[in-house]
Amino acid sequence: MLFIMGDLNIKLKTPQTGEYDQPTGLLYSHHSFINNEFVKGVDGKTFEVINPTTEDVICSVHEASEKDVDIAVSAARKAFEGSWKTTTPNERGRLLVKLADLWEKNMDLLASVEALDNGKAFTMAKGDISAGANCLRYYGGWADKIQGKVVDTNAETFNYIKKEPIGVCGQIIPWNFPLLMWSWKIGPAIAAGNTVVLKTAEQTPLGGLVAAALVKEAGFPPGVINIISGFGKVAGAAISSHMDIDKVAFTGSTLVGRTIMKAAAGSNLKKVTLELGGKSPNIVFEDADIDNAISWVNFGIYFNHGQCCCAGSRIIVQDTIYDKFIQRFKERAAQNNVGDPFAKETFQGPQVSQLQFDRIMGYIEEGKKAGATVETGGKRKGDKGYFIEPTIFSNVTEDMRIVQEEIFGPVCTVSKFSTQEEAIKIGNNTNYGLAAAVHTKNLNTAIQVSNALKAGTVWVNQYNMLSHQLPFGGFKESGVGRELGDAALDNYIQVKTVSIRLGDALFG
């Protein structure tokens, strides 16, 4: 990848769009930093961004320290107490819709940067940008529809309930859908009238910075949306323990989610929402259309290289069709094109980093040692880039680590059930509860199993079909609160009750 180091913008090239200006700084405005400008980190430190396809360095970006988080928070506070407070809901909505339009206008650029930085296929990245633009526009539509109510309690009192923004929101996002998560976080927070300091994941800072330039172009006042690049243990920890951040929203691993909740509890008890891991069951009954079911099962686990919190990683198949299912699923998985994200036919690119690659390969070795059978895959693909073959394990037992722990890669397990009751029992045998799916033609089975599964989303005869209109989030250890839909607005609103005594009769 060609690049010329500049100060805060560099020229990068992507195979899809050619040369573009990549901002490398942190975007915030405060005192001497004016008008949504990109700035360097206070300590002048930078970190390298690696291309997972080639393992080469793409460029370096400025790293946020605790001091940078402080500056960004005070910018967000100043905006929240100042200009943003008097910005009308209509104007907030208009700005979000403008931002959505700019995402669409710059779709190829944003998708290329995402494919370069994260390794996902360019065509899939376009899907992310389109979904992200829809999400921003959807919350733009909500901005002037957040309404309170009047409640009659007795003749002497007039009560109204207001929905107010929470304040300065810290948002910490992961690397698997960098720009989509950016939109999921910023959309509802801004619609509700908050200001934000959002930290991208250290593996994938590039797209968030390009999108930050669009924030400025859309016309947001300075300090309303602040984007920083930095590490979890430094900038992420500074956000979750900050005394002047009123709310923290996080998407990532359950392990880090716990740390964030503790940091929030140990600082100012800021409000917390968490969208965490999963080990989602994907249940196939004998009466399902088997070819369709296999297509969805394949998409359920291998989409985004298995790097989805809701990945259908535990496939549970009725014993009567088990052998046929394994045979056909193996054939289907082998057809997935694994390769260069910018090649037209690519479905699966590389894993995001060496660390993730090593973790996944470690789980594959662990599964083999535990006695599971590798039906297909199980190896690195090629000798450059973090590519892993789509992998299926059979002959698994419920206690195996590959069945219980989130692998976050293109690896699934297939187990058997005989009765509906058993399918539900196996499906719920996990500490997670993000998503689940049922494949059947029987309406009773579909509804009974969906109702019995302990998961925030249950798909029937499909998988991974998220919509910005539908709430998404976890039961059990998969999270706190909901993303998307009107439910996400609740994460960014606080309810105020005003109760007024009428008349002038003496009290008591």
Positions annotated as catalytic residues are 275
| Span from 63-71, 229-237, 279-287, 476-484 in contact with ligand ADP (CB under 6 A) | 229-237
Closest by alpha carbon to 169, among 152, 188, 142?
188
Residue 379 phi/psi, 5-degree rounding, is -135, 165
Nearest-approach distance from CB 55 to ligand ADP, in angstroms:
18
DSSP string, 401-416: HHHHS---SSEEEEEE
Burial code (b: 16+ CB inside 10 Å, e: under 16) for 231-254 equals ebebbbbbbbbbeebbbbbbbbbb
Among residues 253 and 267, whose Cβ is nearest to ligand ADP? 253
Choose, by CB under 6 A, the member of 9, 54, 130, 253 that binds ligand ADP: 253
Look-up of token digits 């769009």: 17
Bridge partners of 439, per DSSP, are 284
DSSP string, 415-447: EEESSHHHHHHHHT-SS--SEEEEE-S-HHHHH
Closest by alpha carbon to 488, among 228, 259, 181?
181
Nearest-approach distance from CB 483 to ligand ADP, in angstroms:
15
| Span from 85-93, 152-160, 227-235, 443-451 in contact with ligand ADP (CB under 6 A) | 227-235
Look-up of token digits 């996002």: 173
Site size toward ligand ADP, by CB under 6 A: 17
Nearest-approach distance from CB 33 to ligand ADP, in angstroms:
23
Using CA of residue 302, residue 13, residue 10, residue 385, what is the dihedral sign? positive
Nearest-approach distance from CB 239 to ligand ADP, in angstroms:
7
Closest by alpha carbon to 99, among 16, 189, 10, 13?
189
Among residues 106 and 200, whose Cβ is nearest to ligand ADP? 200
Q: Which helix (H) or strand (E) holds 226?
A: strand 225-229
For residues 233 to 252, the per-residue mask of contacts with ligand ADP, x marking binding by CB under 6 A and - elsewhere, is x--xx--x-----------x
Among residues 249 and 424, whose Cβ is nearest to ligand ADP? 249
Choose, by CB under 6 A, the member of 39, 191, 224, 260 that binds ligand ADP: 260
Spatial separation of the C-alpha atoms in residues 32 and 66, rounded to whole Å: 18
For residues 173 to 202, the per-residue mask of contacts with ligand ADP, x marking binding by CB under 6 A and - elsewhere, is xx------------------------x-xx
Nearest-approach distance from CB 243 to ligand ADP, in angstroms:
16
Q: Report how far apart, in Å, the C-alpha atoms of 184 and of each of 82, 229, 235, 295, 353 are.
A: 25, 18, 20, 27, 23
- 118 is a site residue for ligand ADP (CB under 6 A): no
Among residues 250 and 285, whose Cβ is nearest to ligand ADP? 250
Nearest-approach distance from CB 26 to ligand ADP, in angstroms:
14
Bridge partners of 21, per DSSP, are 11
Among residues 14 and 254, whose Cβ is nearest to ligand ADP? 254
Choose, by CB under 6 A, the member of 51, 106, 134, 259 that binds ligand ADP: 259
Among residues 176 and 394, whose Cβ is nearest to ligand ADP? 176
| Span from 140-148, 256-264, 338-346, 428-436 in contact with ligand ADP (CB under 6 A) | 256-264
DSSP string, 5-43: --SSEEEEEETTTEEEEEE-SEE--BTTB-TT-EE--TT
Among residues 186 and 293, whose Cβ is nearest to ligand ADP? 186
Among residues 22 and 259, whose Cβ is nearest to ligand ADP? 259
- Residue 293 amino acid letter: A
- 378 is a site residue for ligand ADP (CB under 6 A): no
| Span from 157-165, 228-236, 340-348, 493-501 in contact with ligand ADP (CB under 6 A) | 228-236
For residues 438 to 457, the per-residue mask of contacts with ligand ADP, x marking binding by CB under 6 A and - elsewhere, is --------------------
- 474 is a site residue for ligand ADP (CB under 6 A): no
- Determine how many CB atoms are found less than 10 A away from the CB of residue 208: 26
| HEC-encoded secondary structure of 58-87 | EEEEECCCHHHHHHHHHHHHHHHHCHHHHC
Nearest-approach distance from CB 230 to ligand ADP, in angstroms:
7
Among residues 143 and 260, whose Cβ is nearest to ligand ADP? 260
- 172 is a site residue for ligand ADP (CB under 6 A): yes
Which strand ranges, in their side-by-side order, compose the sheet holding 3-4?
A: 3-4, 9-14, 18-23
Proportion of the chain in helix, strand, coil states, percent, rounded to 5? 40, 25, 35
- Residue 278 amino acid letter: G
- 256 is a site residue for ligand ADP (CB under 6 A): yes
Choose, by CB under 6 A, the member of 208, 232, 339, 367 that binds ligand ADP: 232
Spatial separation of the C-alpha atoms in residues 208 and 135, rounded to whole Å: 16
Nearest-approach distance from CB 466 to ligand ADP, in angstroms:
19
Nearest-approach distance from CB 348 to ligand ADP, in angstroms:
18
Which spans of this chain sit near ligand ADP (rule: CB under 6 A)?
A: 172-174, 199, 201-202, 231-233, 236-237, 240, 252-253, 256, 259-260
